[in-house]
Each structure stands twice: as C-alpha cells, then as structure tokens.
C-alpha cells in the first residue's frame, strides 16, 4: 500500500473505524531517510495511537537499526513486511522474496525483536509460489522468534493479486500458532468480512485495496459484525464531504504540486465505486461515460482549487434532476463551463 496509506489516508481510515493503520512501507536503509518521500512516510504527527511503522529490507542488522530508530522516535508497534510482491522490492530480496529463505527470515525476526521494547508484528503471504506454500512453517518460525501477531495475505508471491484467495491456508496457519492472526485478501464487503472470519477463524481482518475509494468500509464491517445488519448507506452529500476533506488534506500534506498529483488516484478510486455504492438515477454506460469524462478533466487540472471546484461540479450534477438523456448528450466539460 506504499503510495496509498499516507498520513491523510491513515487518519481518514481511523476516523471511519479502522483499529490499526500501519504506515507506508519504509526502507530499512536509513541513509535514504533524508529523502522527501521517506520523510513524509515517517510523519506521524497528530495520529491516534498506537502508531504502527512498517519496515522492509533483507539485512538483519539494517532492519534491527531501522526498528530501533523508529521506536525511539515514537513507533509503538514495528511491523515487518514480508508480503509485498512488487518487483522493485523483490529485486532487493525483501518483501515476499524472503519467504524463499527461512534462515534469513529467522535472522531478521530475531534481530528486530531483540532491538526494540515494543511489539513486533509480521505480514506474510502463503508462500513463494503455489509449489512452495510454506506459510504454516514461516508462521511457526515467527511465533518462536517472538512475533506478537501475524497478518496473512491469502496468495503466494507468484499469484500477486490474481486468482482465488486461499482462506483455507490462512485457517491452517491460524490453527498452527497461538498468536493473533489477521486474514487479508479481497475483503470488500461486510458479508464477505463475516464469511472470512468464519472460514479462517482469524482474530481480525486486514483490509488494503478494499478501502481504496471507500474508507468507510471499516465502519460498515464493524457495524455488521456487532449488530448483524447493514449500516445505512451514506448519502451522496456525505460522500462528497468526505472526498473533499480528503483532497484538501492531501493538498496540505504534500503541497500544491504533489498534492494535486496524489489527489488524482484517490478521486479515481472514489468515482469507480459510484454505481456500486449509491442509488443513482443514472447507471451503466451513462454513468461510465460521465465518470470517464470527469476523470479526464480532473486529471488535467494543475491547481488545488480547480480540483475542488471540479469535484463540486460532478456531485452537484449527480444530486440534481438531470436525466439519462442529458447525460448522453453532455460532456463533463460542458457541465463545468
């Protein structure tokens, strides 16, 4: 979730029911911490506790030093990433690449646990590839090394984000260890969340991509698990307010140039959920056409205020009495003129 779970998004998710919001994956190479991108990733000012910092790397000594420095600077939980399937991470023999090397995994876990007085957690996948699913063995190793909880994405590194999630493998991991286990992978609705908990017997859920464009998913799941009923769907006006506040926070956090850039992808995710999430009078091809037109216009903007104004225009239109025929005949640029 690097490039997604920045401070503005973490705060937003916490305000909508997320219990823990780990930082973006942080390199263990402290020589790179002076770069602006890394500096922003390490910013936790004003965030709710506990503060979770996620680190990645392949060298036990570097990982231990990174953990120690983050703990000294306010991290209350250190999370180790051995689940990322990104090629640039794998090239450094980090992330899920480490699942190929249990001895290296053990050395890293022992070094990090020994370096800090705060809890150390771990995220893994079910294995390197379908022929080498060693998630159960890695989970047992993690518990023996002093890891306090384990998050498991139910796919191998080779599967990335494709194919069915191996909830049965997560269940086997849960059955093999006594520390808390969090199930992860394709959890996108309250019903699905309940089913995954039932199937895996996990102690909790980790949601990543399912929160992109719908950070309120945590509230929805919490409500369903507690009450057994679906929470009221947010109105378009409420969603408009959430998106606008999120974009403003991105502008403030990153500045007027990068803030505009980061706002584009989040807005695209929000818009991608429109037809599914809201009871709109328009839908199908008409809505797809409108969203495509809006995204093209929004992505061309270079100014913070222009982004917010354009967002106001799309929601004003969606909540108006425009007809389907008008949607077919008018492009967003005409609507915003």
189 and 266 both lie in a single domain: no
148 and 283 both lie in a single domain: no
33 and 142 both lie in a single domain: yes
Query: To which residue do tokens 């354009």 refer?
Result: 310
Residue 158 sits in a domain of what CATH number?
3.20.20.70
92 and 192 both lie in a single domain: yes
84 catalytically annotated: yes
Closest to 196 measured CA to CA, from 170, 224, 172 = 170
Is 1 contained in some domain? no
End residue of a domain, out of 210, 227, 244: 227
Range of the domain at 33: 7-227
Please count the structural domains in the chain: 2
190 and 79 both lie in a single domain: yes
Is 205 contained in some domain? yes
199 and 248 both lie in a single domain: no
Is 2 contained in some domain? no
The count of C-alpha atoms lying within 13 angstroms of the C-alpha of 228, restricted to the half-sphere facing its C-beta, is 0
Closest to 96 measured CA to CA, from 172, 152, 28, 52 = 152
214 and 241 both lie in a single domain: no
Let me know the angle formed at the C-alpha of 210 by 209 and 213, rounded to the nearest 5 degrees.
90
204 and 60 both lie in a single domain: yes
End residue of a domain, out of 190, 206, 227: 227
Is 222 contained in some domain? yes
Question: Among residues 84, 145, 159, 304, which one is catalytic?
Answer: 84
d(CA 204, CA 180): 8
End residue of a domain, out of 227, 247, 282: 227
d(CA 230, CA 222): 10
113 and 29 both lie in a single domain: yes
141 and 192 both lie in a single domain: yes
54 and 177 both lie in a single domain: yes
Is 108 contained in some domain? yes
End-to-end Cα, the chain, rounded Å: 36
196 and 269 both lie in a single domain: no
Q: What is the pLDDT of residue 193?
A: 97
Is 131 contained in some domain? yes
Query: To which residue do tokens 């799941």 refer?
Result: 221
Q: Which two tokens stand for residue 41?
A: 């990733």
Closest to 18 measured CA to CA, from 195, 235, 222 = 222
Is 35 contained in some domain? yes
Render each residue's pLDDT in the chain as its tens digit; 337 residues: 888 999 999 999 999 999 999 999 988 888 878 777 788 888 888 888 999 999 999 999 999 999 999 999 999 999 999 998 888 888 788 889 999 999 999 999 999 999 999 999 999 999 999 999 999 999 999 999 999 999 999 999 889 899 999 999 999 999 999 999 999 999 999 999 999 999 999 999 999 999 999 999 999 999 999 999 999 888 888 999 999 999 999 999 999 999 999 999 999 999 877 755 554 444 556 666 777 788 888 889 999 999 999 999 888 877 774 444 444 444 444 444 4
């Amino acid at each position: 979730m690097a490039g997604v779970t920045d401070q503005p998004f973490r705060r937003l998710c916490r305000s909508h029911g997320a219990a823990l919001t780990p930082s973006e994956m942080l390199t263990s190479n402290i020589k790179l911490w002076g770069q602006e991108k890394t500096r922003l990733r390490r910013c936790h000012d004003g965030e709710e506790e506990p503060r979770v910092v996620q680190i990645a790397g392949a060298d036990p000594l570097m990982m231990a030093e990174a953990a120690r420095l983050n703990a000294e600077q306010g991290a209350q939980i250190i999370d180790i990433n051995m689940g990322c399937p990104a090629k640039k991470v794998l090239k450094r023999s980090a992330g899920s690449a480490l699942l190929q090397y249990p001895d290296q995994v053990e050395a890293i876990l022992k070094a990090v646990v020994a370096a800090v007085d705060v809890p150390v957690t771990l995220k893994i996948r079910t294995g390197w590839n379908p022929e080498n699913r060693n998630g159960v063995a890695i989970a047992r190793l993690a518990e023996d090394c002093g890891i306090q909880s384990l998050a498991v994405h139910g796919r191998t590194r080779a599967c990335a984000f494709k194919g069915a999630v191996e909830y049965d493998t997560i269940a086997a991991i849960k059955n093999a260890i006594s520390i808390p286990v969090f199930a992860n992978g394709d959890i996108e609705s309250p019903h699905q969340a309940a089913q995954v908990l039932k199937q895996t017997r996990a102690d909790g859920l980790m949601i990543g991509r399912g929160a992109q464009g719908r950070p309120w998913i945590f509230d929805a799941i919490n409500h369903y698990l507690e009450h057994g009923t679906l929470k009221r769907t947010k109105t378009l006006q409420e969603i408009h307010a959430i998106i606008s506040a999120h974009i403003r926070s991105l502008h403030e956090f990153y500045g007027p140039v990068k803030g505009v850039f980061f706002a584009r992808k989040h807005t695209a995710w929000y818009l991608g959920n429109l037809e599914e999430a809201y009871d709109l009078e328009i839908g199908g091809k008409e809505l797809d056409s409108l969203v495509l037109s809006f995204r093209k216009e929004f992505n061309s903007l270079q100014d913070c205020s222009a982004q917010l104004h354009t967002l106001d225009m799309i929601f004003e239109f969606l909540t108006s009495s425009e007809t389907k025929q008008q949607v077919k005949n008018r492009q967003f640029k005409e609507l915003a003129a």
